[in-house]
Chains A and B, each alone.
Chain A
């Protein structure tokens, strides 16, 4: 079973930052936090991952709390093409997907 909890859905205005929360209170010391997204009828796409430190790449930023029990994915300037299901996953080599958050970006 998935070990993370996420809101079922969120809305975001186009051009604004989208902040997607995730709780992973059972995360162990060697488990990473991964974020993937899946646009309708496509394969999941990797966004970002982190262990302890905050991470940033060309797609997003990942903020991990100091106790590592929760994190936030930030899409700095959401566009309509960012509408997707966003999955937060704790783990290592194997990914156990939960239900994810449906992010709807609206104009």
Chain B
């Protein structure tokens, strides 16, 4: 069975600083990878997804992620964070195209300090 690990439970960065959130997955074939964001009191919103092709994918709100097969990773990055980026971020893996049963990580809570 597939699994997702987000090793950082909580990250604090200064506004304007760069950000990288880590995600590692376990799956024997090519996975379908996602990053979702959850603001307080809200549901999950899709930031970006990787299905195939270019391993560097661009998402909404200035986020990007890079799929590295050799490292089984799909880390999320943003060059300069804004206070509104404070939220919880979830990495997820899907294993079958057309099957939306995703496996989620435990999430990384991002705090932004002035």
Q: Does B associate with A?
A: no
